[in-house]
């Protein structure tokens, strides 16, 4: 199983605030589309403006009861999700590439308050772990150590 490190509060927003678009400057690797991956919360302390932005965006999409935790989980695997497709736009907002199976989602992603681009990966089947698993992260999609993967799979039975 691969993992992707997300800085906080964005890992929290994916798991608890309806953030279904993950923004990157690069397209997801072809082999990751359709496969579950682990969401790793980065170790870096979240910026106050990022927390405010995540809560505001959650409110924009109708989750007005969402409030950020006083302290975010960091430096651990916190959940799983599946990349179901992606959209890529240029500086003028024109679609330059997209996953062919998700043309409908591309328009929704571009209109979403979660999309800032230039690449937005569509996330589905998002589930939080009951017990976060401490682990170091890396850039891009990276392989989970076998013992961490086993614990992730055990938690989801």
Supply the pLDDT for residue 66.
65
Global pTM reads: 0.88
Write out the chain's pLDDT in tens, 157 residues.
999 999 999 999 999 988 999 999 999 998 999 999 999 999 998 888 888 888 787 776 555 556 777 788 999 999 999 999 888 888 887 777 777 666 677 778 888 888 888 999 999 999 999 999 999 999 899 999 999 999 999 998 6
Supply the pLDDT for residue 61.
59
**What residue has token string 């999309």?**
115
- Is the four-CA dihedral 75, 79, 85, 87 of positive or negative sign? negative
Sequence length of the chain is 157
The answer to whether 132 and 77 have CB atoms below 8 angstroms apart is yes
Supply the pLDDT for residue 151.
97
Supply the pLDDT for residue 133.
97
Supply the pLDDT for residue 51.
83
Q: Residue 151: which of 88, 47, 77 has the closest Cα?
A: 77
| CA 2/CA 111 separation, integer angstroms | 29
Q: DSSP letters along 73-92, please? A: --SEEEEEEEEEEEEEE-TT
Supply the pLDDT for residue 102.
63
Supply the pLDDT for residue 64.
52
Apex 132 CA angle, 80 and 42, nearest 5: 75
């Amino acid at each position: 199983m691969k993992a992707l490190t997300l800085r906080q509060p964005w890992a929290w927003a994916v798991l608890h605030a309806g953030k279904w678009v993950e923004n990157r400057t690069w397209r997801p690797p072809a082999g990751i589309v359709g496969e579950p991956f682990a969401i790793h919360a980065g170790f870096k302390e979240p910026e106050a403006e990022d927390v405010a932005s995540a809560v505001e965006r959650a409110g924009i999409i109708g989750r007005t009861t969402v409030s950020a935790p006083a302290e975010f989980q960091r430096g651990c695997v916190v959940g799983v999700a599946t990349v179901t497709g992606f959209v890529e736009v240029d500086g003028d907002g024109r679609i330059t590439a997209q996953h062919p199976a998700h043309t409908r989602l591309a328009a929704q992603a571009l209109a979403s308050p979660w999309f800032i681009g230039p690449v937005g990966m569509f996330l589905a089947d998002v589930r939080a772990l009951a017990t976060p698993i401490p682990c170091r992260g890396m850039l891009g999609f990276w392989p989970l150590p076998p013992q961490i993967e086993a614990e992730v799979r055990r938690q989801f039975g």
